[in-house]
Amino acid sequence: MKSQVSTNTDPLSVTKLVLPVVAATADSLPEQAHALARARAFAEPLLATELLDTGENILAHADAVAAILRSIGGSEAMQAASYLVYACDHLNRPQEVIAKAFGDNFAALAMETTKLVRVQRQARLVRARGHAIGLQPAAMQTENVRKMLLAFSRDLRVVMLRLASRLQTLRFFAAIKLPVPEGIAAEALQVFAPLANRLGIWEIKWEMEDLAFRFQEPDTYRQVACWLDEKRAEREANVERLRATLQSDLNANGISAKVSGRPKHIYSIVKKMRGKALDFEHIYDVRALRILVASVPECYAALSWVHSHFTPIAEEFDDYIAKPKVNGYQSLHTVVRDGGGQVCEIQIRTQAMHDHAENGVAAHWAYKEAGAKGYAGVSASGAYDAKIAVLRQLLEWERDLSGTQAQGVFDDLIYVLTPEAAIVELPQGATAVDFAYSVHTSLGHRCRGARVDGVMVPLNTPLKNGQTVEVITAKEGGPSRDWLNPEQGYLVSHRARTKVRAWFNALAMAETISKGREAVEKLLQREGKTALKLDELAFQLGFTSADALFEVVGKEEFSLRAIEQLLRPDEPSQHDLEAPLIRKPRSDKNPSKGGLLVVGVDSLMTQMAKCCKPAPPDAICGFVTRGKGVSVHRTDCPNLKEMVAKNGERLIDVEWGLNQAAGGSVFPVDVAVQAQDRQGLLRDISEVFTKEKMNVIGVQTQSIKGVAWMTFTVEVADSGRLHKVLGLVAELSGVRSARRR
């Protein structure tokens, strides 16, 4: 049974792409023998019974797209791609499978075009929703056109696949005589036909315009078609007589010429009628001939002969050979009257001009498959120039839309080219420095000069649409502070300005950290603590890293005195002399019943070290001080480790007495809290300690860059219970960590 495999009425639609990357170069494409036949055989089992939501068989659609590409000179490889594109949706790992069978280049093209299908489908949904709420169609298609432009610059063959697919969609609906889905005809007329026009692919342009107009305005289309049919036999007879006369007389006068009738395009006729407010009888190109000659001199010789034998209408003459159109189109156009007063338009051109007029840049697509020797008249050395020319026509197509269809919404943007021929989107007025940062941050930082279209320019020169920009860089270095001065005009884009500011902020931060590190290291040298690990020191002070400590020290937001207090042992401190002493009880019967038991020594004076503030049931150890008895430390105290390293013989065993172990006394301990500073933070933390019946006897707090660093001194009888309380504090809003110091 046939199934619906897509909701997209046009299977070769355009996707959103990031910064465009130049597609594979000519020498990167492997030769593919019989690629077209192999691609069709590969896709046939997958597509033969599948339908698009238009009702068209997918394999038949791919056959038709390949035929259209063949008719305009598309290579066999490009035709083969038309099958592989549709096969992607029916493979589990399409890129891997296609790359293995046909090469990476085919796989990349097929995958990119498959992405285009999905985004175009989304664009149609947006368009439909926009119609429902009254948005203008031009405004809705703006972003889609921008995505298309960037997608085409990634791989120029996508343009040809895109145009051929849309033309086949219109042909299909014309053949089944049913209305085309909403938006398809309008987009073909307003976007894709102008694109074909800009690229000079007239064969597709004329047919797409007529088919789309037929669906958009069927009554007008039928009326003009009837006018053409009314005197068709008489008009064709007159044109044939004139054609034969022209060819015979030109050849007789030594001008080798081929004269043929030119097709009548209904949409072109309607545009002239509306644009010049003319009725049908005054449209000159209803009768039209084309003269093909061998050379440019013969073009002018033929023109001279025509004007000498017929009456020219002077205001209708155009010399597109001397002044070609922006898309490269060349021809002589003239309108003359014959002896009977009948008007006829005549175009005179060479065969090469005619090939370009019919197929436009299609011939240039060969550079994708050219190789070192060139292909289809395009040498490998000329491939870059061909691509640049095509990309510039794409940019002009976008500018056409900005002035007509998109209602000026592109006026805030320009598109410029990299030396590798990728398109870069920039804000209006952007400079080469903006361009450099849009390509890569490092390129922007090291930018020292620029060439625009090969000419050196000042870095603050505003760029224009379609220019090629080459950045000259230093091997290393950073931006100039002048770039941030708006009066000097170096930067326009917000993104580039942000990157420059970030560079200088990082530079200032590095200098601040270096200053702080120097101050801390000097302090450690004075205190004889150079062996102390800096990260460990920062952690003890409540910082997450050594750099965080150095930053606040460098900014003079953190006093070095706090570090000194941490580093110096308790015994030299004057405050220690005033500290209450805990004595071992004198009872000989039960010497461990109260106080601290100093093993092997009776009635020795003891005191709790203030650096680590031990409390039961912490593992403890004593250190015999000079004149103040035993200082009791936690066994994991960093200060104790340093003192033991110097005077290990003064270490003495101690243990908790029964009263302390049973909770008969309370001990001060320090708790470090790091939190996001907010109103009520101190109150909330204090409430936790209050509810848990822990007395807070001291608080130190400071806020640095919105982060609160807080130290609470609380009285506990059992340090083991403190773990639960710290867990409750850590659950408070904004608290990052809560730990015992």
**Domain holding 435: CATH number?**
3.10.20.30
The span from the CA of 452 to the CA of 208, in Å, is 37
CA-based end-to-end distance of the chain: 74
Task: Answer whether residue 537 shows pLDDT above 70.
Answer: yes
Instruction: Tell me the pLDDT tens digit for each residue of 261-302.
Output: 766 677 777 776 776 665 655 555 567 889 999 999 999 999
Task: Answer whether residue 437 shows pLDDT above 70.
Answer: yes
> In the numeric block, which tokens belong to residue 70?
């063949």
Determine the residue type at 643.
M
Q: What sign has the CA pseudo-torsion 614, 619, 625, 630?
A: positive
> In the numeric block, which tokens belong to residue 143?
């972003």
Instruction: Tell me the pLDDT tens digit for each residue of 300-339.
Output: 999 999 998 888 988 889 999 988 887 678 899 998 887 7
Instruction: Tell me the pLDDT tens digit for each residue of 697-736.
Output: 888 888 777 888 888 888 888 887 888 888 899 889 889 8
Q: pLDDT: is 683 or 584 the higher one?
A: 683
Last residue in a domain, options 640, 660, 680: 660
Structure letter (DSSP) for residue 375: B
Task: Answer whether residue 29 shows pLDDT above 50.
Answer: no
> Before 617, cis peptide (omega within 30)?
yes
Phi, psi angle pair for 673, to nearest 5°: -125, 130
Cβ–Cβ < 8 Å for 584, 652: no
The span from the CA of 361 to the CA of 472, in Å, is 32
Average pLDDT, the chain: 76
Least confident piece of the model among 393-407, 555-569, 662-676, 690-704: 393-407
From 184, 196, 221, 181, select the one nearest 68 (Cα to Cα). Answer: 196
The span from the CA of 243 to the CA of 238, in Å, is 9
280 shares its domain with 354:
yes
Structural domain span for residue 278: 227-365
Instruction: Tell me the pLDDT tens digit for each residue of 110-143.
Output: 877 776 666 566 665 655 655 554 444 444 455 5
Query: From the CB of residue 237, how many other CB atoms can be counted at a distance below 10 Å?
Result: 11
In three-state secondary structure terms, 374 is coil
Task: Answer whether residue 435 shows pLDDT above 90.
Answer: yes
In three-state secondary structure terms, 693 is coil
Last residue in a domain, options 476, 492, 508: 492
654 shares its domain with 679:
no
264 shares its domain with 348:
yes
The span from the CA of 660 to the CA of 620, in Å, is 13
Asked if residue 376 belongs to a domain, the reply is no
Least confident piece of the model among 16-20, 564-568, 611-615, 652-656: 16-20
Asked if residue 560 belongs to a domain, the reply is no
Structure letter (DSSP) for residue 284: G
Q: Where are the alpha helices (DSSP H) in 587-718?
A: 638-646, 658-661, 681-691
Instruction: Tell me the pLDDT tens digit for each residue of 459-472.
Output: 999 998 778 899 99
Angle at which helix 266-275 crosses helix 202-216, to 10 degrees, equals: 70
> In the numeric block, which tokens belong to residue 190?
């307003």
**Residue 396 CB partners (closer than 8 Å, separation 6+):** 198, 326, 327, 466
345 shares its domain with 443:
no
637 shares its domain with 720:
no
Question: Band of the pLDDT at 194, cuts 50, 70, 90?
Answer: confident
Question: Band of the pLDDT at 448, cuts 50, 70, 90?
Answer: very high
DSSP sequence for 486-535? GGGT----HHHHHHHHHHHHHHHHHHHHHHHHHHHHHHHHHHT-TTS-HH
From 30, 155, 36, select the one nearest 103 (Cα to Cα). Answer: 30
Q: Where are the alpha helices (DSSP H) in 528-615?
A: 534-540, 546-554, 560-567, 574-577
259 shares its domain with 181:
no
> In the numeric block, which tokens belong to residue 720?
């083991």
693 shares its domain with 650:
no
Task: Answer whether residue 386 shows pLDDT above 60.
Answer: no
For residue 376, the cross-strand partners are: none
Instruction: Tell me the pLDDT tens digit for each residue of 605-634.
Output: 788 888 888 888 888 988 888 767 788 888
Asked if residue 406 belongs to a domain, the reply is no
146 shares its domain with 27:
yes
Cβ–Cβ < 8 Å for 64, 171: yes
The distance between the two most distant Cα atoms of the chain, rounded to a whole number of Å, is 146
Question: Band of the pLDDT at 569, cuts 50, 70, 90?
Answer: low
Asked if residue 95 belongs to a domain, the reply is yes
Asked if residue 459 belongs to a domain, the reply is yes
In three-state secondary structure terms, 333 is strand
From 146, 139, 196, 193, select the one nearest 415 (Cα to Cα). Answer: 146
> In the numeric block, which tokens belong to residue 690?
């209050």
Task: Answer whether residue 558 shows pLDDT above 70.
Answer: yes
> What pLDDT does residue 118 have?
64
Asked if residue 736 belongs to a domain, the reply is yes
CATH number at residue 103: 1.10.3210.10
Instruction: Tell me the pLDDT tens digit for each residue of 578-597.
Output: 333 333 333 344 333 345 66
Helix (H) or strand (E) holding 208: helix 202-216
pTM of the model: 0.49
**C-alpha count within 13 angstroms, C-beta hemisphere, residue 587:** 11
* Whole-number Cα distances in Å, 308 to 242, 304, 311, 321, 350: 15, 6, 8, 20, 21
Asked if residue 240 belongs to a domain, the reply is yes
Length of the chain (residues): 741
Task: Answer whether residue 442 shows pLDDT above 50.
Answer: yes
Q: What sign has the CA pseudo-torsion 659, 660, 661, 666?
A: positive
199 shares its domain with 342:
no
From 545, 512, 517, 562, select the one nearest 701 (Cα to Cα). Answer: 562
From 369, 415, 425, 458, select the one nearest 73 (Cα to Cα). Answer: 369
From 432, 424, 417, 410, select the one nearest 492 (Cα to Cα). Answer: 432
* Whole-number Cα distances in Å, 500 to 335, 433, 449, 474, 488: 60, 10, 17, 16, 15
Residues 222-233, mean pLDDT to the nearest whole number: 70
> What pLDDT does residue 573 have?
41
206 shares its domain with 314:
no
**Residue 299 CB partners (closer than 8 Å, separation 6+):** 293, 321, 332, 348, 349, 350
Determine the residue type at 330.
Q
Determine the residue type at 354.
H
What percent of the chain clears pLDDT 90, i.e. is strictly above it?
Answer: 11
Strands (E), 540-648: 582-583, 596-598, 605-608, 620-624, 630-634
Cα dihedral: 630, 635, 638, 639 (round 10) = 0
Structure letter (DSSP) for residue 84: H
Total domains, the chain: 5
> What pLDDT does residue 30 have?
42
Last residue in a domain, options 434, 469, 492: 492
Residues 645-670, mean pLDDT to the nearest whole number: 76
Cβ–Cβ < 8 Å for 697, 713: yes
Query: From the CB of residue 650, how many other CB atoms can be counted at a distance below 10 Å?
Result: 15
The span from the CA of 290 to the CA of 347, in Å, is 5
Phi, psi angle pair for 682, to nearest 5°: -60, -40
158 shares its domain with 271:
no
Question: Band of the pLDDT at 433, cuts 50, 70, 90?
Answer: very high
Asked if residue 377 belongs to a domain, the reply is no
CATH number at residue 281: 3.30.460.10
CATH number at residue 718: 3.30.70.260
Phi, psi angle pair for 305, to nearest 5°: -65, -45
66 shares its domain with 152:
yes
